[in-house]
Amino acid sequence: MQIIKKLREDAKYTLQDVADRTGLSMGLINGYEHGTMSNPKFKTVEALATCFPENSDLIHKEAGRIPIDIFRQLANSKLTYAQIREVLNAANI
């Protein structure tokens, strides 16, 4: 999720600013920024998306995670597993 560094710098946030806004550690954020950490937990992605709401979709896509609102809609839908998989594949998730 190296996009986080660009978003952070564009917003003129320090690592500490993002840590304070998300509740994540600076080390964890730094690891994602530099690519030494991968496969972020769902809660981590949601926290970062909340910190950069205008780029929420981009953050979710780069992390390979579904935004919580879409997840809830899919979970409550009458779609079969195969249909849900088609939707996710079409979204490159």
pLDDT at 45 over 80: yes
Q: Is residue 77 part of a domain?
A: no
- For the chain, the domain total comes to 1
Q: Tell me, what DSSP letter sits at residue 39?
A: S
The pLDDT assigned to 25 comes to 97
Contacts with 21 (C-beta within 8 Å, 6 or more apart), sequence order: 13, 50, 51
* Dihedral over Cα of 9, 10, 16, 22: its sign: negative
Q: What is the CATH number of the domain that holds 17?
A: 1.10.260.40
Range of the domain at 27: 3-66
pLDDT digits (tens, 9 = 90+) for 4-39: 999 999 999 999 999 999 999 999 999 999 999 988
Bigger pLDDT: 52 or 38?
52
3 close to 62: Cβ distance less than 8 angstroms:
yes
88 close to 75: Cβ distance less than 8 angstroms:
no
Q: Name the 3-class secondary structure at 52.
A: coil
pLDDT digits (tens, 9 = 90+) for 54-81: 999 899 989 988 888 888 888 888 989 8
